[in-house]
Amino acid sequence: MDLLLDPTAWLIVIALSILGSIGNLALYQVGKQGVDAIRQRFPRIKDEQWLRVKGLYDRYGAWILLLSGIPVLGSMVTTAAGAFDVPRPMFLLLVTISKMLRNWLLVILAVGTYNYFRG
């Protein structure tokens, strides 16, 4: 696929991934303030949802951040990363990888859709 060899596509995906990861630092900081701050910021999070996320961290550790590119789940796991003291460099690395995978998928789908309808 020529798209994967295009330096412009790589630049766009990397830039968007890094910016998305930096944006998730705000949620990470909310988590660093503790569970009470999380509940205040996200009052609709139910105890069972929080326990599920805690269970994911207990089972998979920081690797669960590789799912942070998934909407809604990503917000939960990035916020929880702060609460569960995931080191910031590990957080940024795993979230950036997740965002890169998601952004490449979106670029490939967008170009494929464009090419399909263009003929």
pLDDT digits (tens, 9 = 90+) for 72-104: 889 889 999 999 999 999 999 999 999 999 999
Residue 118 forms part of a structural domain: no
pLDDT in tens, 14-54: 999 999 999 999 999 999 998 888 888 888 888 888 888 88
Give the pTM: 0.86
Given this model, what pLDDT does residue 3 score? 78
Domain that holds residue 29: 2-111
Does 93 map to a domain? yes
Kindly state whether residue 69 falls inside one of the protein's structural domains.
yes
**Cα angle at 87 between 83 and 89, to 5 degrees?**
135
Statement: residue 1 has pLDDT above 80: no
Q: Is residue 117 part of a domain?
A: no
Instruction: Look at residue 119 and tell me if it is in a domain.
Output: no
Structural domain total, the chain: 1
Per-residue pLDDT at 68: 94
